[in-house]
Structure 1
């Protein structure tokens, strides 16, 4: 669930690439990981069952997810990954605000968390198993976001002109539009 280069992952990757030092990308890594931690905890607490039980809420979230992914895909498609570090590096406050928005306002991420983690959490009937499952999901999230920023930094050192980053952004945008298409199909199926 965390591997596709969606809005959250591509932003973390790009911030890792944009900053001269890894530590400068940490605000986005920590913000995204904290948001995922919150969503995971909400999902394993049983909120996912409520979302699944209300089809109208699913339709609303899917519709918002479609719009969100279309917009973010368009933004990423038109971003200039090959520009200088100053143009690509986002100030700390903006990093945090953008990471918050793409983490908590992204209906697709919410549906993924609720639909995948929440549904899988239901199978754990013992409290210790559920806590272990939640902690494992949280740990994977923190590790993945950290690695994304590190890999972004490594790619930028290898690809000084940013041609590879541009290609990654284009692929990411197309994948977001593809996911948005599947979401739209799901909305029509639910109607």
Structure 2
């Protein structure tokens, strides 16, 4: 069981570490929001979505869904639209003036965006199905459950850590210039991911 837990930790950490839309958005919100509590909607949403994806991947349900071609294409198209819109919103967003209240993204908008980039992100889905789901096939019973729970725990810890790192960065950036640059980079990553997904839909 310990080996399965270690395997799950290394695997999940390796998958979640690269700079992607989800990570950039969470870090961005941590840096942008005026208080730590305002970041919780995006962190909790992303964590819960990852929990759902990992659970489905381990139990094999999502693999069946993605086996249907039209469902996969639909998910890709919806993901492209969300990424294009999110990129536009992020590019236009600006940090609040120091001492003012309010948030760049409302809790409802945070939840919608976090859910979309988690559940409608084909890269995240394929990572959970193709890597975590496949790796879990070598385990059974309690050992398989331990593998899954460790993978989920890594996601929760990582997302909270990203938000904290973003929050600390935002407090050091009193001019707001770093946040503006971060917004531009975030938008470019989102648009780049959308373009990549469009090409993945096109027939070879």
Q: Shorter-chain TM-score: what band?
A: 0.7 to 0.9
Verify the 8 A CA contact 1:82 1:161 in the aligned structure 2: no
1:22 is the counterpart of 2:36: yes
Aligned equivalents of 1:104, 1:148: Cα separation in 2: 17
1:86 is the counterpart of 2:101: yes
Structure 1 position 81, deviation (Å): 2.5
Unaligned runs of 5+ in 1: none
Deviations 1:74-94 (A, max 9, x none): 11011112544524365xxx4
2:179 to 128, 153, 165: 165
Aligned pairs, how many?
185
Structure 1 position 10, deviation (Å): 4.0
The residue that corresponds to 1:126 in the other structure is 139
C-alpha root-mean-square deviation of aligned residues, in Å? 2.5
Taking a change above 3 Å as real, the CA distance of residues 68 and 160 of structure 1, as seen in their structure-2 partners, is: same
Deviations 1:10-36 (A, max 9, x none): 443244234454344334322321222
Aligned equivalents of 1:74, 1:89: Cα separation in 2: 14
Given the two structures, how large is their TM-score scaled by the length of structure 2? 0.77
Structure 1 position 105, deviation (Å): 3.3
1:101 is the counterpart of 2:86: no
Aligned equivalents of 1:114, 1:15: Cα separation in 2: 23
Which is further off, 53-62 or 28-37? 28-37
Aligned equivalents of 1:118, 1:64: Cα separation in 2: 19
1:111 to 107, 110, 122: 122
Aligned equivalents of 2:32, 2:40: Cα separation in 1: 12
Given the two structures, how large is their TM-score scaled by the length of structure 1? 0.82
Taking a change above 3 Å as real, the CA distance of residues 12 and 100 of structure 1, as seen in their structure-2 partners, is: same
Taking a change above 3 Å as real, the CA distance of residues 178 and 24 of structure 1, as seen in their structure-2 partners, is: closer
